[in-house]
Amino acid sequence: MLLSAIPATASVSVTGFSSTNTAAGGIGDVTINFTTDETNFGPAGGGGYAVTATLPAGMSTFGVYSAEAPCSSTTIELTPVSGFTPYCFENGRYTVANQARGGTRKVLGPGSYTLTISNVTNPNSPGEYTLSEFSVWDATSGGKNPPGGATSLNLSTYPIEITSAATPAATAVPALPLFGLLTLGGLLGLFGLRKLNK
């Protein structure tokens, strides 16, 4: 068999993973930037997936997006997209898809994209956290495995650094000026002497 007859395998690479809040236990919006050369990248018809992402252990939206709903900038959003209304939901992983039982196949094609997940609660422990999984899907086969679709292999390249939660600033105790300290000492001494004289 000639090497040229072997179909090329598509790929996807995460090019950025960040959050608007990196404090332990904090809540922020997570952004995943990625590029893919998958020619047929996009959702298959009738609920086919376009993108799936699994956040690190301890990062969660606690099922708030479990119901399938149109994607939005305040929930889950894939940009840029055109020509179809993406639906988003979370079922252990965050998914951008065609509407179940209603969407038709849509090829988005190769390029650079951004997935945003809003209101994600950070882990309670400081440290470096990387995505557990990130995949693009093939609109023609409905799969994420070669030769259609792809799973990112460079997740460890882009960790989020979660830092300790900010501690409240210590409240300053007002200091007595030297004059006030001398006055207080004098008064104590005066009353102390009066008591002794009695």
Question: Tokens 């999984």 map to which residue?
Answer: 133
Whether the Cβ atoms of residue 149 and residue 38 lie closer than 8 Å to each other: yes
163-177: per-residue pLDDT in tens? 996 555 545 555 556
pLDDT on residue 103: 81
Rounded Cα distance between 71 and 85, Å, is: 8
Q: What is the mean pLDDT of residues 131-147?
A: 88
Residue 35 is which amino acid? T
Q: What is the mean pLDDT of residues 62-80?
A: 96
153 pLDDT more than 50? yes
1 pLDDT more than 50? no
131 pLDDT more than 70? yes
8 pLDDT more than 70? no
156 pLDDT more than 90? yes
pLDDT on residue 3: 47
13-41: per-residue pLDDT in tens? 999 999 999 999 999 999 999 999 999 99
5 pLDDT more than 80? no
Rounded Cα distance between 50 and 87, Å, is: 10
The strand pair at 127-129 and 69-70 is best described as: unpaired
Q: Considering the entire predicted model, what is its pTM? A: 0.80
Which CATH entry fits the domain spanning 7-162: 1.10.3470, 2.10.70, 3.30.450, 2.60.40?
A: 2.60.40
Higher pLDDT, 69 or 149: 69
Whether the bond between 80 and the residue before it is cis, its omega within 30 degrees of 0, is yes
94-126: per-residue pLDDT in tens? 999 999 877 889 999 999 999 999 999 999 999
pLDDT on residue 69: 96
